[in-house]
Chains A and B, each alone.
Chain A
Amino acid sequence: MMLSALIFLPILFAIVMAFWPQKNTVRHLAFGFSIIQFILSLGMLQRFDASSAALQMVEKSVWIQRFGISYFLGIDGISVMLVMLTTFLVPIIILGSWNSIDKQVKGFHSALFILQAAMLGSFLAMDAILFYVFWELSLVPMYFIVGIWGGTRRIYATLKFFIYTMAGSMLMLLAIIFLMRLTPEVTGGNISASILDFYKLNIPFIAGDFLTPQTLLFFAFAIAFAIKVPIFPLHTWLPDAHVEAPTPGSVVLAGVMLKMGTYGFLRWVIPLFPEAAEHFAWLFVLVGVIGIIYGALVAMVQPDVKKLVAYSSVSHMGYILIGLFVMNTYGVNGALYQMLNHGISTGALFLLIGMIYERTHSREISKYGGLAGVLPHFTIAFVIVTMSSIAVPMTNGFVGEFLILLGSYAFSPIVAAFAVTGVVLGAAYMLWMVKRVFFGPKGELITNAEHDHAHALHDLSAREFAVLIPLIIMIFWMGLFPNHFMDYSKASVDHLVKNKMDYSIPMSTNTAQTGER
């Protein structure tokens, strides 16, 4: 029941939130709920057996018998940390958006909880249709979050976001249907949408022929996830969505939603279509490398801080993609770790940008300058997060990036040689931005604020400290003791990497372990 509770509690919260009578306590309530959710997920983590690659805490019951669709939840090393990331970020987001969301507060928090439920659902669902349902469902609240609470071009951005993602996932739906049609071969006559049955499928693959089922299915899935990740050249929705989204929206988007794409690759694409994945790995590694360099270069010349960070996401996600598709234990472990890192550090960056935006109502880099003298605490936090983002050792970013690069070197030194340029470019665009925003003489905005007492700039408030400190602690904790986090996933990743061609998640049938009663 643990996993169901994780998914459905937020929905319950959302409903309660929607009908909560008092306007001024909505935020407190939401924060309390999200903390409950986080504690629940900690309980889940405590029961999780890190030494096993098996699916744990499995819940399976028939949903749509006719199609073999089941309500099938499970968690293993690949998803456990992503679940934790989701539950960890939501309270922070709520706290971080305390002041910035000032209209339709109830609606916002309801949407946020539904989004959380959908995201957790996509990480926990082990049934293709169930996964698809959560996957699509997650679009809706995000669509509203961007569209209602977003910036001036929010409608354009939110439509672009929705339609891009939707267009990709439609193909995936078709591929799922096709796969379900194949399952009777392995289940003894019954159609099934369970991932365990999918894994047993032996889908024909011929290397030279593009029109083999496995290749087509592979691309149908891969494109859906690629748009979500997003990988070059399908990334253009991301900067728009990020720039227009309100701070919490950006945080969720960067922190968790993009991970749904990479998670999809790891959970569905690579194990399901191993030959095709291997055969086309070069393609994805190539776009990953292009993404890294391209994202970094374009980020460098952005005039808008948020857009800069958005493009940096493209760059970072390029790393993750490479890590996944080099398909060795370093790369995959690194990628999985980098997903968490990116969630934390980019999430923190967006929160910080949100805080400064609340103060100055501008994100134009050229209007800033000299902020460090005015907001020292803020600056320190920002620089720490920047260091995490550019993967300075002892911060979390380094561990993931290093492992990915190591994996890519094992795959091909040339790939590593190109990917490593991201290390330099990453530092270049982030530090240049930091320099222009925080250092140098005081910029237009700062001097204006100094003359205008109504808009005087205040350093971080206690609430904002409370938002940032957990993130900063995580940055160092994950950087110094990566094993505390990676140990949860190693068994699963090893299992995946070693059984590339013949992958099936074992399912722990030991009920004591699943903790069902």
Chain B
Amino acid sequence: MPETNIITTIGPEHYLVLSALLFSIGMAGVLLRRNLIVLLMSIELMLNAVNISFITFSHYSGKVEGQIMVFFVMTIAAAEAAVGLALAVSIFKRFKEVNIRFFEHLKG
């Protein structure tokens, strides 16, 4: 195999690194943001990273199942978002606040 230039030759690694970076960004969001809604968004970011990974593998291995999985993941992500937001709403109704700093009654 000839020497390949990592800038000019785009391979699966590139996509996977991209996915990894996006996943990490999402994770950082979950770890660092205090707003509940933004937290949920960060989770969506992570799921998107997963999707990129699936599609990449699907493409490079020529297996269509990867796309099915992405389809499922998207559906579930949507459902999660719905549940998450519903919870956020009910929490907001209760605490008048979506900063997770205020949900620390259960501890110890």
On whether A and B touch (CB less than 8 Å), the answer reads no
